[in-house]
Structure 1
């Protein structure tokens, strides 16, 4: 059973992706800071007949990420030993950990907020990718999925910090794909538009649920975490010679970053 690692797995897209990958036959290593949430997720997956292991990890910490890589290597070795063969292959990394803080214009931008967004979205992704790439390459069938955003190639007012961080992640993804050409590791970018999850907007507005809810007010059927997980799983389960460079996925109501239809869509009873 191949091993997949999902960062930012304690909620939202990360948790949905972990559940979906387990259903696809992966042993999923779920990584995030909140150990209690990870334990709940592992229980959900195992109760559904899947396989999952929780490894608490803070992607902003070199030491914590090194611990994640060590735990994954130990897991691969122990599973292989139990099967009486080589180490279980580590074939998939989903770099999902990230987030946004604030919606301030650049002229009033918080350096602390921008720094946090770069630390988590860009440097956190760098840390995890560096630490796990040797295991992915050793499998001879590795895949790295970068969960970025439409903000990674389109800017919008108030989104300077988040867009800059996601642009950085998109640049890293393209560069990594070039650098790994000729080696057995695919590099995929998944760019969701408007996704309604249980925490993203609430965290962005520091717990202000009213302001978070206003983002989605009147929008018929934003994307869900399961919608994005479906895209991630599809890219990861293509034949190994097929590299899906980028998927851009938006809800029907969102034609572009700045163009969102409000109200009912289509015939109404």
Structure 2
């Protein structure tokens, strides 16, 4: 199949990495279905892409709502095939140590980063299988591979998402479905740090203070698009991508 015959579903497409990925996949020739809770944002992006001559549709969706996810999956019957699922929706809340973490924050992070991936993957697997050449991509984080102080809830959730990718790859071997995990390090995107810092702009900016070039949403989207557009027999099991200034979660070069 050429990209022109393929449909890609992108979750969390209202901003940041999700929006950038939708743009790049559309430019690569894919029909993109943009989902996010913020209906106005995905509709604006879909209109932008359509005006540029691409094929794009918007669908308001909360990936933590299983009934809504199932209804969304059923609505995809109108397409010739569903070929790619980008599990991008996620997020972090707070930087408290484990001893002080709010269970409600941990639950919220688990719901979107883990159960959201589970809901979408389960709901779309039949269509991906039927396509004869499907791809499930799960955007995790370097937090899913190494712990750091103040990240307990997010680290736990992203470790779980990493485990979903690894387990699913084992369970689907021999079937026409690739399972790809992309794990970014420090990425400066619209809203991620601000949400994590509960709206405190000074704390959000401090995350990137002194770092000359953190990754951008476009950097990660480029990595995702590259992985997806490899020949069908090539599976990028796991790709960790960091800015040059970051050697590990806890080791970042900051200029004065």
Q: Do Structure 1 and Structure 2 share a fold, with TM-score over 0.5? A: yes
Deviation at 1:89, TM superposition (A): 2.1
The answer to whether the aligner puts 1:70 opposite 2:74 as a matched pair is yes
- Counterpart in 1 of 2:16? 12
SS of structure 1 residue aligned to 2:182: strand
Is 1:236 aligned to 2:240, yes or no?
A: no
* Contact 1:55/1:71 (<8 A) preserved: no
In structure 2, distance between residues paired with 1:64 and 1:224 = 31
2:218 is matched with which residue: 226, 233, 239? 226
Query: Comparing 120-129 with 199-208, which one deviates more in the overlay?
Result: 199-208
Contact 1:29 1:72 in 2 (8 A): no
Partners of 1:231 and 1:70 in 2: how far apart? Answer: 29
Which of 131, 147, 150 is matched with 1:155 structurally?
A: 147
1:101 aligned to 2:105? no
Question: CA-to-partner distance for each residue in 1:132-151, whole Å, 9 max, x for gaps?
Answer: 00000100000011000000
State the distance in 2 between where 1:28 and 1:243 align.
21
Provide the C-alpha distance between the structure 1 equivalents of 2:145 and 2:180, rounded to a whole number of angstroms.
15
Deviations 1:42-99 (A, max 9, x none): 122112221100011001101110121012222x1xxxxxxxxxxx221100000000
Aligned length: 252
| Aligned with residue 182 of structure 1, among 174, 193, 201 | 174
TM-score scaled by structure 1? 0.92
Structure 2 unaligned blocks of 5 or more: none
Structure 1 unmatched ranges of 5 or more: 77-87, 265-269
Q: Equivalents in 2 of 1:132, 1:209: separation in Å?
A: 37
- Counterpart for residue 158 of structure 2: 166
TM-score (normalised: structure 2): 0.97
The residue matched to 1:216 in structure 2 has which SS? coil
CA distance in 2, matches of 1:68, 1:29: 11
Separation in structure 2 between the aligned mates of residue 23 and residue 101 of structure 1, nearest angstrom: 33
Report how far residue 187 of structure 1 moved: 0.1
Please identify runs of 4+ aligned residues in structure 1 that moved more than 4 A: none
Alignment partners' CA distance in 2, 1:73 and 1:147:
25
The more displaced of 239-248 and 43-52 is: 43-52
* Structure 1: distance between partners of 2:77 and 2:207: 41
